[in-house]
A and B are shown apart, each in its own frame.
Chain A
Amino acid sequence: MTVMLPPLVPDEVEADELAPRADCVADSAGGLTFDLADLGLPGAAYLLLRLRDRQPHGAPARETRLPLTPAADGRLRAVLPSSVQLAEGRWDVYVDHGDAAPRRLSPGVNDLRSLVDRMPSGTRPHTAVRIPYATKHGNLTVRAWHRAPHAEAGELLISGAELTVRGRLFGVPFSPRAHAELRERTGTAAPRRVEVTVTGADFGLTVAYAALTGGPGTWDLWLLPQGTGGPAARVARLLDDVADKKPIFTYPEVRTGTVAVGPYYTRDNDLALRVTPTV
């Protein structure tokens, strides 16, 4: 649903100290259940998810409304099933009673245990991930990803001047033409082809840092499970309860020549390699 909305509270605003609080429980299929106190206001209540705007100012905002229905103990409940598609991005969460401006929610208890070490069945063409989290300003936001296909990164092993990535592919099968590519983000250098080994849906690949040491740069890692011309998947780490991998999943850098090379997760939890000068 795409509609024009009145301006809502941007996340840059510190959480309202009296903001209603929502508890959120995740299920292993990727669905979320939100519970909040019934404010006792008349009229239908909705949980409003609004995609944080990266578009030009004034462009229509995307939103999803979920009905809030009475649950036990005088609380209201809304369910976001995995079948409701959310575009990738940050969805700020509000409660909307229809009679006034929607109110931003703050996080209560996020019970995300079923997301830890999540392993989807692999039967769906797409992989949907939603992780509720507290923003740095103390508001409740849902981070959503939608990947088709999806290449989940597992363990990273750094040995000498090489990085080995192990992962699993979801959504499409591998073909014999499968390989990976490192693409320099600014496009100033040619992509580097990386061979992959495949066992069922699992894959492994090794990046020799020597291939990247021509100069400073940032290289995004893509998996091409059916070769050039087929679908492409950013290698990413999405299947757990950690909304922002960057500060937690960190890896050592290796110095080689006049540069240091190391893997990191972007703010979208995609895997990339950074080449930085050491002097």
Chain B
Amino acid sequence: MHISFLIHNAYGIGGTIRTTYNLANTLAEQHDVEVVSVNRHRDDPVFEVDPRVRVRHLVDIRKGTAGYEGDSPEYHRPARVFPRAEGRFDQYNALTDRRIADHLATVEADVLVGTRPGLNVHIARQARSGPLRVGQEHLTLDSHSKALRAQLRGVYPRLDALTTTTEADAGAYRGKMRLPGVRVHSMGNPVPEPGVAPADGTGKWVVAAGRLAPVKRYDLLIRAFDQVRRQRPDWRLRIYGGGRQKDALRTLIDELGLYNHVFLMGPAHPIEPEWAKGSIAAVTSSLESFGMTIVEAMRCGLPVVSTDCPHGPGEIINNGVDGRLVPVGDVNAIAGGLLELINDDELRGRMASAALHDSQRFDPARIAERYESLFTELTGRTGSGGRIGRLRGSVHRSRGALLGGAYAVRAAGRAALRKGRTA
């Protein structure tokens, strides 16, 4: 199959970009894969790209280069196809409208995959007849504005398939959007096997990682840890990540006298060796559209104590088996969940093994197989290879492959990552 991804900017850092490359690189083992970037602002992608994946752009916005198109009058006229209510509307324009339209009218592909609502709209409205039209939603339906939902409702029925990161969100699209004939599938996000050995479960550390943003509710985690240390002063908490809440969290730590027990570690990249230093991971968010850090921690052999917030955690964690779900916003419950695992080494060890095993379903090879099955079924063709299991993905553990795994950041991307927001 020839699979063509359409992405806002394949040269940036965000989660959608990483996820797209994880998927594209794996699909490229059996298929002809290209990643078409609407914008290009730097010479090379930040993330490692399989040499079999072709990456190209539609609009060149590399300042100071001969190809720079940011001075074109079209570039400064507002977009008419890209939906106005989409979060990235300001970065689209008459030039992107025209280039995307040209691309979609001529593209040689069996499957077109849009990676955000505005690009799904382009594909739904402008793709030539022939290729399968697949829209991906990396955020959730209820995170879209009313205006955007209204715009999508009119256009999404022209897609062949829509993918979400969770079943909960797939259910929301099926229930609220009325998409007759559109296959709505939850796919999950791919998370490669880490390049470090799993945690051995002996370190008396709880680890959390994410932006220090209000939605992560690290204030609750810190308050919960105040209860934990009263019972188990030998355990401590590390929170990785940067963000605007740092000063407020620092003040809370000092007010509670937790400065020997709770540490704000700052951003870490790669994060996997930091997970591996802990024995329990904690997520206290009020909202997780998927819950990438939960899968990352599980792949490093940590059971996760997480709030059962919308949308992802409850679908990732098998409560009581490979982790513990606790009610949202409940300090006592968070502390109780942590202490349950802290006070029972045998339970913690059992959950850690289960976490390692259960999180394999998010391996890029497994996620790519789900996409492949969907594409194959809808195109009515069979792929060039065999059946399930033919995608090798990242399921190999050699030292040499280590850098091709979760921290598959190209050398050129490292400086960008240091400056960007990473957990």
Partners in one complex: yes
| Chain B residues, CB < 8 A from A112 | 273, 277
| Chain A residues, CB < 8 A from B407 | 108-109
Indicate if the CB atoms of A75 and B400 lie closer than 8 Å: yes
Indicate which residue in B195, B270, B277, B399 contacts A113 across the interface (CB closer than 8 Å): B277
Q: Interface extent on A, as a size class?
A: 35 or more
Indicate if the CB atoms of A106 and B414 lie closer than 8 Å: yes
Least CB distance, B249 to chain A, in whole angstroms: 12
Chain A, range 230-250, C-beta contacts under 8 Å to B: 241-242, 247-250
Chain A, range 152-181, C-beta contacts under 8 Å to B: 155-158
| Chain A residues, CB < 8 A from B277 | 112-113, 116, 241
**Contacts known (A111-B196, A252-B259); A73 close to B398, Cβ less than 8 A:** yes
- Among the 9-residue stretches B126-134, B169-177, B261-269, B321-329, the one with 4 or more Cβ atoms under 8 Å from chain A is B261-269
Q: CA separation between A67 and B259, bound complex, in Å?
A: 42
Q: Is A72 an interface residue (CB 8 A)?
A: yes
**Binary interface encoding of chain B residues 269-287 relative to chain A, with 1 for a CB under 8 A from any of its CBs, else 0:** 0101100110000000000
Which of chain B's residues has its CB closest to A157's CB? B260
Indicate if the CB atoms of B415 and A248 lie closer than 8 Å: no
Indicate if the CB atoms of A116 and B205 lie closer than 8 Å: yes
**Contacts known (A116-B277, A117-B203); A72 close to B398, Cβ less than 8 A:** yes
Indicate if the CB atoms of A17 and B276 lie closer than 8 Å: no
Indicate if the CB atoms of B399 and A72 lie closer than 8 Å: yes
Q: Is B61 an interface residue (CB 8 A)?
A: no
Which of chain A's residues has its CB closest to B204's CB? A117
| Chain A residues, CB < 8 A from B259 | 156, 249-252
Which of chain B's residues has its CB closest to A19's CB? B411
Q: CA separation between A242 and B414, bound complex, in Å?
A: 21
Q: CA separation between A117 and B279, bound complex, in Å?
A: 14
Looking at B203, B266, B277, B418, which has the most chain A CB atoms within 10 Å of its CB? B277
Q: Is B108 an interface residue (CB 8 A)?
A: no
Q: CA separation between A113 and B205, bound complex, in Å?
A: 11
Indicate if the CB atoms of A138 and B273 lie closer than 8 Å: no
Task: Tell me if B's interface is mostly helix, strand, loop or mixed.
Answer: mixed
Q: CA separation between A12 and B285, bound complex, in Å?
A: 39
Q: CA separation between A73 and B396, bound complex, in Å?
A: 12
Q: Is A98 an interface residue (CB 8 A)?
A: no
Q: Is B217 an interface residue (CB 8 A)?
A: no
**Binary interface encoding of chain B residues 189-229 relative to chain A, with 1 for a CB under 8 A from any of its CBs, else 0:** 00000011101000111000000000000000000000000
Least CB distance, A77 to chain B, in whole angstroms: 9
| Chain B residues, CB < 8 A from A248 | 263-266
Indicate if the CB atoms of B403 and A18 lie closer than 8 Å: no
Least CB distance, A82 to chain B, in whole angstroms: 20
Q: CA separation between A35 and B399, bound complex, in Å?
A: 9
Q: Is A60 an interface residue (CB 8 A)?
A: no
Q: A21-B403, A113-B203 are in contact. List 10 more A-B contacts (CB 8 A).
A: A16-B411, A17-B412, A73-B398, A73-B401, A74-B400, A109-B270, A111-B273, A113-B276, A155-B260, A251-B259
Going nearest first, the 4 A-B pairs with the smallest beta carbon separation are A73-B400, A252-B254, A155-B260, A17-B412
> Can you name 27 A-B residue pairings with CB atoms under 8 Å?
A15-B414, A17-B415, A18-B412, A21-B403, A23-B399, A35-B399, A72-B398, A72-B400, A75-B400, A106-B411, A108-B402, A108-B403, A108-B407, A109-B195, A109-B196, A109-B273, A109-B402, A111-B276, A112-B273, A112-B277, A113-B203, A116-B277, A117-B203, A138-B415, A138-B418, A251-B254, A252-B259
